[in-house]
Amino acid sequence: MTTPENTPAVAVQTINRGLPAGKMPELRMMPAPSDANVYGDVFGGWIMAQVDIAGSLPATRRANGRVATISVNSFVFKNPVFVGDLLSFYADIVRVGNTSITVNVEVYAERNRLQADTVKVTEATLTYVATDSDRKPRKVPPIETLLHP
């Protein structure tokens, strides 16, 4: 019998099958044919651009303003990405320095719209620098001063 207690848990299990439990992706994207080579494999550069955007989102919130990517520290394409995969980008801050914020990004692909087959396709670590209106580094504000860290 469906009760108010068990309905949300069942729904979440179905939706999150194969994806990290209890986490919200920063970004969800579906590559189009124009993002792929003639074999239907998505270009690494397209994936890198989306990873950069996904990682910049928690960095921007933590910096409470603009950031610039200073470094891609590591980037591993563990599995290919295909046209039509539904990609989820998870981004976690792993280090906050004086002006820099380092973010780990993991990407999962739900294959073929039925979302029965989910694989981790990419993992990367990037460093962002909080910048001022002159594009110069500025200090990352103390976390307790943020309204939405």
Ligand X SMILES: CC(C)(COP(=O)(O)OP(=O)(O)OC[C@H]1O[C@@H](n2cnc3c(N)ncnc32)[C@H](O)[C@@H]1OP(=O)(O)O)[C@@H](O)C(=O)NCCC(=O)NCCS
Residue 27 or 70: which CB sits closer to ligand X? 70
Least distance between ligand X and beta carbon 104 (Å): 14
Residue 12 or 76: which CB sits closer to ligand X? 76
Least distance between ligand X and beta carbon 57 (Å): 15
Residue type, 102: T
- What contacts 120, CB < 8 A, 6 or more positions away? 78, 79, 106, 107, 108
Residue 124 or 129: which CB sits closer to ligand X? 129
Residue 13 or 98: which CB sits closer to ligand X? 98
Per-residue burial over 110-148, b if 16 or more Cβ lie within 10 Å, else e, is bbeeebeebebbbbbbbbbbbbeeeeeebebeeeeeeee
Residues that bind ligand X (CB under 6 A): 68-71, 97-100, 127, 129, 131, 135, 137
Parallel/antiparallel/unpaired status of strands 118-130 and 67-77: antiparallel
Least distance between ligand X and beta carbon 71 (Å): 3
Least distance between ligand X and beta carbon 61 (Å): 17
Whose CB is nearest to ligand X?
A: 97
What is the distance between the terminal CA atoms of the chain, rounded to a whole angstrom?
40
Least distance between ligand X and beta carbon 91 (Å): 17
Q: What is the rounded CA–CA span in Å between residue 67 and residue 149?
A: 15
Residue 109 or 140: which CB sits closer to ligand X? 140
3-class DSSP state of 56: helix
